[in-house]
Amino acid sequence: MKIAIMGAMPEEVAPILESLDDVVEVNYAKNKYFKAKYKDIDVVVAYSKIGKVFSTLTASTMLQMFACDMLLFTGVAGAVNSKLQIGDLVVASKLAQHDLDITIFGHPHGYVPEGSVYVESDRDLTALSKIVASEMGIDVKEGIIATGDQFIASEERKGFIAETFKADALEMEGASVAVVCDALGVPFFILRSISDSADMDAGFNFEEFVESSAKVSAKFLMKMIDKLAGA
């Protein structure tokens, strides 16, 4: 087993890298990939940079160049569901691209021919996350994540995403990573901890909470990797 562990920003993968041994940096396609061992398993860690294009490139590289056979994403997100508070964890049940729009031709938002509005996550990894959550005695919400190349800081845009996609959280990489994994038949898991509520205060809250929420997500992901390593 070789596990890809991805984030978008340095803050999102830093806590992961701290937990690994024998880290070797490899440069490829203008990005850094960290090959390492955790217990008995091989892992490759990278942050893609922000957005759907960079995350597509990184996910594809992780699977095709580094031959990873599972992909786990850790990071932060804006809350859409008003029950979600800063620091809460969300596991994607399925993901959609909220900014993909050829609706003028009668297609639904997020859809292009031969694609699908939603990409569904791996059931086994989702089930594993529930076990880990109950062992840790914490609540992890399973919900829909909407992805787009926009930092959302408006009630209006958030409302559109909530209504159109029934989304619980939003971010800028999950759905593109999901499309890559789905196309290549590799199980994936997208985990996010809330850093803001995609509203007027989002910029301010994001800056204040990105680091602490990124740590919450990374810590949970490491517990999942413990299970995958059979510990």
What are the residues whose beta carbons fall under 8 Å from the beta carbon of 156, sequence distance 6 or more? Answer: none
**CB of 174 or CB of 228, closer to ligand 3QA:** 174
The vertex-133 CA angle with 127 and 136, nearest 5°, equals 145
When binding is defined by CB under 6 A, the residue of 195, 220, 222, 228 that contacts ligand 3QA is 195
Contact 226, 201 (CB under 8 A): no
**CB of 66 or CB of 151, closer to ligand 3QA:** 151
Q: Check the CA dihedral 36-178-73-202 and report its sign.
A: positive
Least separation in angstroms between CB 51 and ligand 3QA: 7
What is the phi/psi pair of residue 17, to 5°?
-60, -35
12: annotated active-site residue: yes
Residue nearest to ligand 3QA (CB): 78
Should residue 170 be labelled a site residue for ligand 3QA when binding is judged by CB under 6 A?
Answer: yes
User: Could you say which residues in the range 51-90 bind ligand 3QA, by CB under 6 A?
Assistant: 76-78
User: Could you say which residues in the range 84-113 bind ligand 3QA, by CB under 6 A?
Assistant: none
Least separation in angstroms between CB 172 and ligand 3QA: 4
What is the phi/psi pair of residue 5, to 5°?
-120, 115
Contact 167, 80 (CB under 8 A): yes
Residue 27 identity: N
21: annotated active-site residue: no
- Catalog residues that contact ligand 3QA under the rule CB under 6 A: 8-9, 50, 76-78, 151-153, 170-173, 195-196, 198, 202, 206
User: Which residue numbers are catalytic?
Assistant: 12, 196
